[in-house]
Amino acid sequence: MFFTTVRMANGESERKNAVSAASKNLNELALERYAALDDGEIRRLVVEDKWFASFRKAVNEVLHYTGGRLAARLRELDERYARPLPDLQRDVNTFETKVEGHLRKMGVSA
pTM of the model: 0.44
Average pLDDT of span 65-83: 95
Number of other CB atoms surrounding residue 44 within 10 Å: 14
Distances (CA, A) of 24 to 28, 32, 46, 59, 98: 6, 13, 24, 36, 85
pLDDT in the model for residue 29? 93
4 or 45, greater pLDDT: 45
Burial 13-27 (b: 16+ CB within 10 A, else e): eeeeeeeeeeeeeee
Question: pLDDT class for 49, splitting at 50, 70, 90?
Answer: confident
